[in-house]
């Protein structure tokens, strides 16, 4: 029994106290609080202690709402308190019924936590919010228009209370909630810190909102003061204008004054009337009466004053009278006409003050003759007499309706909860309220006292100048906020809700952590046993890793050795075949078989190179150079290399198919050429008729030149399925492709890998049976090159007559770049093309031969007299005969530079000319002695034979030691050095040669070029580091040997360094 009483007392007391705190978060009406922690207490208390807690909650709710009704509405409402208590019981019982089976699990399982929050919060609180709001409505405490929002605020406050308060109970009373934490103090500290941060943030938001609203209140009050001052100043300005009017006129009539005053009153509704009050003495009363009586007929103009009862009587002569002599409007103001305002003490005080300070001065609030509360504002008018002395002539007077004067200042800026007071002082100095809008103060002295003592929290006061007098404007607000601080309430609600949800999260995390710690303890023994097994596994992994690294090294060594061993015999095969093919006496059939053998050896070399490239990529040792790339040289090399292959299949090779862009980029020209050669080689391989073209374009974007190289063909094309596996290693379009065309399927895969290393890509666009376009695109650093201004054909007319439309388009674009005046494209079947008016003709060899057959020699010579002809040859350069004048031949594919050189050759001579043949005939003369250091007998024969083709004397050394002896005995101008040899390898021999003393027979700076069968990464760098000048990989080619000889053994160069 005692325990039950403690539960009832404790739950009722806590509910009341928490509700007392929660009411400070109330939003009108006061019952709807944005945070209501009592609901959270009620929910968890009933779950933990059952019906005893339910009774305590009901009692606490009844007492709390009985107190709230008495405080807010001045009387206690037992019926209202009972209704709200019932709504609380309904909400708590619904929550208890649905959450009791699992509520303890809600503190350790996120799923049950969400379920608990949803049922105990939004669902059950909905019932209490509806019942409580309807109760408030039935008792007339909530207006119909606020019914919905009041219900929402009630519901939201209770939901936040549940979310926020329940975690506190779970943390501080784990024995009741069924929760167990390994470190409850840490959890309590974390939750307390979050709550304190929420309180601090709420306080900061409170201060910010209060400052904002008080600033708005102050600005509003300043606006009221400015409006009132402006209107008062407008009245004074009106009186000043009357004074100026009187001073500038003579004998102003009442009708003239009325006209002037009417215009003045149109712009200011606070002035009831305007008058001009003349200053006279007692002897002038009769004169004044006679003067103005005719103007006011049928009214009687009489100078009057008030008796002790307030009735008007004729004025008693005195030393000074101030008489209302001019008045507008008359209607409603007839009693004021002729009135002596100086006869009243309060008016006399204001008149004397205005005279003394020579400025406008108001009376205190008074009842005018017109029976309306107002203020008279007197403005003195001084004139100058004949002696030059000033005298007081009259007072321009305005009757101000104070209510209308202040109305605009009040209505334009009055806030709902603020009050407005205008305080004046009587002639004895005592304050009184002139105008007020509010009920807080009726005594001006009390108002001014509270202002001085700072008893009013929200107040703004200032003086309003009225001529030489001031009024005190005071604006106050009954609350700290001038309107409901919704932002503050919502911020607090959001902060408390987030704090509560974070509290739930902390509980779940720590509860889950406790469970994990328990599981960790249980599994520790098993882990200890596993550690021993892991240690053994770790040792095995180390051994396996070492074995894998050793295998990878063995693979690299194997590839290097295989490269050397395979390239050495290939060097012998290719070199021997090259030498044999130099023999002009070989029969045609035998030459064909030998050429097939040489091409087969080159194909085998290509396969080896692909496998080595793939190995380099896999090993991450594939490094790209970054040097200037010549697009012109790139297209020339690829065109020269693939010309024979295209002729073999009777295909048109357009390299390039578009004029090259004027740019120089930084990249690896060797690898770019490898990609282009592979793409062009594939295009030629899979094309049976038509053409293969290479187009190079560029665009500048974000500091990079994006170079796009498109290889297009009219070959067999690809299906979508074939495209999907096209770039996979060791795969071709289908299995029949390998049987029909050969190849390893590595080329495109390697191209894509290399393009990726350049931050680019290789992609394909294809249509089965129509053809394919392979596109290689990559970004490069670079620069724009200037065009060739000297290449100009201005004034010349060009006619193009070729069989291939792509070539015709290319030539047309080139001549447009050279600014040819007119460009014509003719059909190749026209045998009269030379009769056209053009001066330059570019024609196919077949067209030219057909034209020669059609025209006889004399006619041909006549038509050629002023013509220039470039003949494009597919297979070999032609030799001009005697009939051909101004004719030059050029090999396809056509390069822009070669075409210009041909045209320039035509311009330089009018004789039979062939610039290409002429350049070939002008072979560079080579002189000097060469030492070939090679241990392989076959390679000695091949190397000596190829070098000997150029008329160079060659000595042989078997190894590096023998080479050292020969260079000290004989003078050599160039050394070809094998790298791997017995006795002494090429690297050591090179280092020894570089150390030869000055004055040796062979200079220590003699050029040394490596001849190495090694093709793995780093071989060329190793040669350079040893002191060699270059690197030629085996198998060696005649062309590469020729380039080296021309570099180092030009005639006239005694010694190259």
Are the C-beta atoms of residues 575 and 1035 closer than 8 Å to each other?
A: yes
Q: Shortest CA distance to 968 belongs to which of 941, 940, 931, 935? A: 931
Highest mean pLDDT out of 194-208, 357-371, 439-453, 846-860? 439-453
Model confidence pLDDT, tens digit, residues 4-38:
888 888 888 988 888 888 776 665 444 567 778 88
- Average pLDDT estimate for 50-75: 80
Secondary-structure class of domain 797-877+885-906 per CATH? alpha beta
pLDDT of 735 reads: 45
| Mean pLDDT, rounded, of the chain | 80
pLDDT of 779 reads: 93
* Structure confidence at residue 738 as a pLDDT band (50, 70, 90): very low
* Structure confidence at residue 917 as a pLDDT band (50, 70, 90): very low
Model confidence pLDDT, tens digit, residues 522-561:
788 777 787 877 888 888 888 887 877 677 666 666 665 6
pLDDT of 39 reads: 84
Going from N- to C-terminal start, the domains of the chain cover 1-178, 242-477, 623-784, 797-877+885-906, 930-1049
Residue matched to tokens 């009722």: 12
pLDDT of 590 reads: 66
Q: 178-182, 318-322, 884-888, 942-946 — which is least confidently predicted?
A: 178-182
What percentage of the chain reaches a pLDDT higher than 90? Answer: 21
pLDDT at 368 over 60: no
* Structure confidence at residue 75 as a pLDDT band (50, 70, 90): low
Q: Shortest CA distance to 913 belongs to which of 949, 943, 877, 939? A: 877
Of residues 638 and 486, which shows the higher confidence score?
638
pLDDT of 757 reads: 86
- Average pLDDT estimate for 416-434: 87
Q: 148-157, 296-305, 733-742, 933-942 — which is least confidently predicted?
A: 733-742
* Structure confidence at residue 954 as a pLDDT band (50, 70, 90): very high
- Backbone phi and psi for residue 426, each to the nearest 5 degrees, phi listed first: -75, 180
- Average pLDDT estimate for 489-509: 73
Are the C-beta atoms of residues 800 and 825 closer than 8 Å to each other?
A: yes
Instruction: Output 991-994 pairs: Cβ under 8 A, ≥24 positions apart.
Output: 991/1026, 991/1027, 992/960, 992/964, 993/963, 993/964, 993/967, 993/1027, 994/1027
pLDDT at 857 over 70: no
Are the C-beta atoms of residues 730 and 744 closer than 8 Å to each other?
A: yes
pLDDT at 299 over 90: no
- Average pLDDT estimate for 478-486: 68
Highest mean pLDDT out of 194-198, 861-865, 1009-1013? 1009-1013
Distance between CA atoms of 1005 and 1000, rounded to whole angstroms? 11
| Chain centroid offset of residue 132 CA | 51
pLDDT at 265 over 80: yes
According to CATH, the topology of domain 1-178 is Arp2/3 complex 21 kDa subunit ARPC3 (1.10.1760)
Is the preceding omega at residue 893 within 30 degrees of 0, hence cis?
A: yes
pLDDT at 1055 over 50: no
pLDDT of 128 reads: 87
pLDDT at 1052 over 60: no
Model confidence pLDDT, tens digit, residues 129-185:
899 888 888 887 777 877 887 888 888 888 888 887 777 777 776 665 566 666 667
Model confidence pLDDT, tens digit, residues 759-810:
999 999 988 888 999 999 999 998 888 766 567 888 888 888 888 889 989 9
- Backbone phi and psi for residue 629, each to the nearest 5 degrees, phi listed first: -110, 125
According to CATH, the topology of domain 242-477 is Beta-Lactamase (3.30.450)
Model confidence pLDDT, tens digit, residues 669-688:
888 888 898 899 888 888 98
The DSSP line for 302-322 is --EEE-TTS-EEEPPP-S-EE
**Using H for helix, E for strand and C for coil, what is the string for 845-878?**
HHHHHHHHHHCCHHHHHHHCCCCEEEEEECCCCC
* Structure confidence at residue 912 as a pLDDT band (50, 70, 90): very low
pLDDT at 1044 over 80: yes
* Structure confidence at residue 74 as a pLDDT band (50, 70, 90): low
Encoding tokens for residue 559?
A: 């590839």
Residue matched to tokens 């039979």: 912
Burial pattern 909-932, b for ≥16 Cβ within 10 A else e, equals: eeeebbbbbeeeeeeeebebbbbb
Distance between CA atoms of 1047 and 562, rounded to whole angstroms? 31
* Structure confidence at residue 919 as a pLDDT band (50, 70, 90): very low
- Average pLDDT estimate for 67-74: 70
Name beta bridge partners: 698: 707
Are the C-beta atoms of residues 431 and 444 closer than 8 Å to each other?
A: yes
Domains 242-477 and 930-1049 equal at CATH topology level = no
pLDDT at 518 over 70: no
- Average pLDDT estimate for 190-210: 78
pLDDT of 424 reads: 92
* Structure confidence at residue 995 as a pLDDT band (50, 70, 90): very high
Encoding tokens for residue 56?
A: 């305590």
- Average pLDDT estimate for 860-878: 70
- Average pLDDT estimate for 630-652: 85
Distance between CA atoms of 78 and 971, rounded to whole angstroms? 128
Mark out the alpha helices in 864-930 (DSSP H runs).
896-908, 915-921
pLDDT of 149 reads: 79
pLDDT of 183 reads: 66
Secondary-structure class of domain 623-784 per CATH? alpha beta
pLDDT of 967 reads: 93
Which residues are CB-neighbours of 426 under 8 A, at least 6 positions away?
Answer: 364, 432
Residues 930-1049: name the CATH superfamily.
Answer: Response regulator (3.40.50.2300)
pLDDT at 621 over 60: no
The DSSP line for 130-172 is HHHHHHHHHTT-S-GGGHHHHHHHHHHHHHHHHHHHHHHHHHH
Highest mean pLDDT out of 189-193, 219-223, 273-277, 1053-1057? 273-277
- Average pLDDT estimate for 191-199: 77
pLDDT at 278 over 90: yes
Encoding tokens for residue 195?
A: 């709550």
Is the preceding omega at residue 29 within 30 degrees of 0, hence cis?
A: yes
- What is residue 728's three-state secondary structure? coil
- Average pLDDT estimate for 61-79: 76
* Other CB atoms within 10 Å distance of the CB of residue 796: 18
Of residues 576 and 372, which shows the higher confidence score?
576
Q: pTM (2 decimals)?
A: 0.44
Name beta bridge partners: 933: 957, 977
pLDDT of 25 reads: 66
pLDDT of 241 reads: 92
């Amino acid at each position: 029994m005692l325990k039950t009483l403690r539960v009832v007392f404790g739950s009722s007391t806590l509910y009341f106290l928490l509700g007392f705190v929660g009411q400070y978060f109330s939003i009108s009406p006061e019952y709807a609080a944005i945070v209501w922690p009592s609901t959270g207490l009620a929910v968890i208390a009933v779950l933990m202690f059952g019906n005893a807690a339910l009774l305590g909650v009901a009692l606490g709710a009844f007492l709390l709402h009985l107190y709230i009704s008495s405080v807010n509405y001045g009387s206690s409402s037992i019926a209202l308190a009972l209704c709200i208590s019932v709504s609380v019981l309904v909400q708590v019982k619904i929550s208890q019924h649905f959450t009791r089976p699992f509520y303890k699990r809600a503190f350790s399982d996120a799923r049950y936590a969400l379920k608990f929050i949803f049922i105990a919060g939004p669902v059950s609180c909905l019932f209490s919010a509806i019942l409580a709001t309807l109760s408030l409505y039935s008792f007339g405490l909530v207006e119909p228009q606020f019914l919905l929002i009041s219900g929402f605020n009630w519901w939201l406050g209770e939901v936040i209370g549940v979310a926020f308060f329940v975690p506190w109970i779970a943390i501080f009373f784990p024995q009741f909630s069924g929760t167990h934490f390994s470190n409850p103090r840490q959890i309590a500290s974390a939750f307390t810190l979050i709550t304190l941060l929420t309180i601090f943030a709420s306080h900061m938001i409170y201060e910010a909102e209060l400052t904002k609203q008080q600033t708005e209140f102050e600005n509003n009050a300043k606006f009221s003061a400015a409006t009132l001052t402006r209107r008062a100043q407008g009245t004074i300005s009106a009186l000043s204008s009357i004074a100026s009017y009187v001073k500038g006129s003579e004998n102003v009539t009442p009708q003239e004054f009325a006209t002037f005053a009417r215009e003045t009153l149109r712009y200011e509704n606070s002035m009831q009337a305007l008058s001009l009050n003349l200053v006279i003495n007692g002897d002038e009363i009769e004169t004044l009466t006679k003067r103005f009586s005719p103007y006011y007929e049928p009214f009687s103009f009489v100078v009057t004053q008030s008796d002790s009862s307030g009735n008007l009587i004729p004025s008693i002569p005195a030393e000074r009278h101030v008489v209302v002599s001019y008045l507008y409007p008359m209607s409603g103001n007839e009693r004021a006409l002729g009135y002596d305002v100086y006869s009243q003490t309060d008016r006399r005080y204001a008149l004397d003050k205005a005279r003394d300070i020579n400025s406008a001065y108001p009376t205190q609030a008074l009842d005018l003759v017109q029976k309306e509360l107002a203020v008279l504002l007197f403005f003195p008018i001084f004139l100058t007499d004949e002696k030059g002395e000033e005298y007081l002539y009259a007072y321009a007077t305005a009757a101000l309706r104070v209510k209308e004067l202040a109305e605009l200042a009040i209505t334009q800026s009055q806030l709902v909860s603020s009050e407005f007071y205008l305080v004046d002082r009587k002639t004895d100095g005592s304050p009184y309220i002139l105008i007020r809008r509010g009920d807080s103060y009726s005594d001006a002295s009390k108002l001014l006292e509270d202002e001085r003592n700072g008893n009013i929290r929200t107040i703004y006061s200032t003086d309003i100048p009225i001529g030489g007098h001031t009024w005190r404007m005071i604006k106050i607000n009954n609350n700290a906020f001038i309107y409901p601080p919704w932002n503050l309430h919502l911020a607090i609600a959001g902060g408390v809700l987030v704090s509560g949800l974070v509290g739930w999260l902390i509980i779940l995390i720590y509860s889950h952590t406790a469970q994990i710690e328990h599981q960790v303890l249980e599994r520790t023994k098993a882990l200890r046993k596993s550690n021993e097994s892991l240690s053994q596994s770790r040792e095995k992994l180390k051994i396996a890793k070492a074995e894998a690294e050793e295998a990878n090294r063995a693979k690299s060594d194997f590839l290097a050795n295989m490269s050397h061993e395979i390239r050495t015999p290939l060097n012998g095969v290719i070199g021997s075949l090259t030498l044999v093919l130099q023999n002009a006496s070989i029969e045609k059939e035998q030459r064909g078989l030998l050429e097939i053998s040489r091409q087969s050896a080159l194909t085998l070399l290509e396969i080896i190179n692909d496998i080595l490239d793939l190995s380099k990529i896999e090993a991450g040792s594939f490094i790209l150079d970054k040097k200037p790339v010549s697009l012109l040289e790139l297209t020339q090399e690829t065109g020269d290399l693939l010309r024979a292959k295209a002729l073999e299949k009777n295909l048109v090779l357009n390299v390039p198919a578009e004029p090259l862009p004027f740019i120089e980029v930084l990249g690896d020209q060797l690898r770019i050429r490898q990609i282009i050669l592979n793409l062009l080689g594939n295009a030629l391989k899979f094309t049976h008729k038509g053409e293969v073209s290479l187009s190079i374009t560029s665009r500048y974007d974000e500091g990079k030149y994006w170079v796009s190289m498109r290889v297009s063909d009219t070959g067999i094309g690809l299906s979508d399925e074939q495209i999907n596996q096209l770039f996979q290693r060791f795969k071709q379009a289908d299995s029949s492709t390998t049987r029909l065309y050969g190849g390893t399927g590595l080329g495109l895969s390697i191209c894509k890998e290399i393009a990726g290393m350049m931050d680019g890509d290789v992609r394909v666009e294809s249509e089965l049976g129509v053809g394919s376009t392979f596109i290689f695109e990559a970004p490069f650093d670079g620069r724009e090159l200037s065009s060739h201004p000297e290449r100009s054909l201005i004034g010349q007319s060009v006619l193009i007559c070729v069989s291939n439309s792509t070539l015709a388009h290319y030539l047309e674009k080139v001549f447009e770049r050279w600014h040819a005046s007119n460009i014509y494209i003719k059909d190749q079947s026209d045998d009269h093309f030379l009769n056209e008016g053009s001066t330059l003709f570019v024609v196919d060899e077949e067209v030219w031969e057909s034209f020669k057959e059609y025209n006889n020699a004399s006619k041909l010579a006549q038509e050629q007299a002023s013509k220039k002809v470039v003949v494009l040859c597919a297979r070999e350069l032609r030799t001009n005969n005697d009939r051909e004048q101004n004719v030059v031949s050029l090999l396809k594919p056509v390069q822009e530079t070669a075409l210009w050189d041909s045209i320039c050759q035509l311009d330089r001579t009018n004789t039979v000319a062939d610039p290409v043949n002429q350049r070939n005939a002008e072979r560079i003369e080579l002189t000097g002695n060469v030492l070939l250091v090679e241990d392989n007998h076959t390679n000695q024969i091949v190397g000596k034979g190829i070098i000997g083709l150029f008329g160079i004397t060659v000595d042989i050394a078997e190894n590096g030691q023998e080479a050292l002896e020969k260079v000290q005995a004989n003078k050599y101008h160039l050394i070809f050095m094998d790298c791997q040899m017995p006795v002494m390898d090429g690297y050591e021999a090179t280092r020894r040669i570089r150390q030869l003393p000055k004055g040796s027979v062979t200079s220590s700076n003699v050029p040394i070029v490596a001849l190495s069968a090694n093709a793995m990464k780093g071989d060329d760098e190793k040669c350079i580091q040893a002191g060699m000048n270059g690197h030629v990989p085996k198998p060696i080619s005649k062309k590469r040997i020729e380039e080296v000889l021309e570099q180092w053994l030009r005639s006239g160069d005694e010694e190259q360094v």
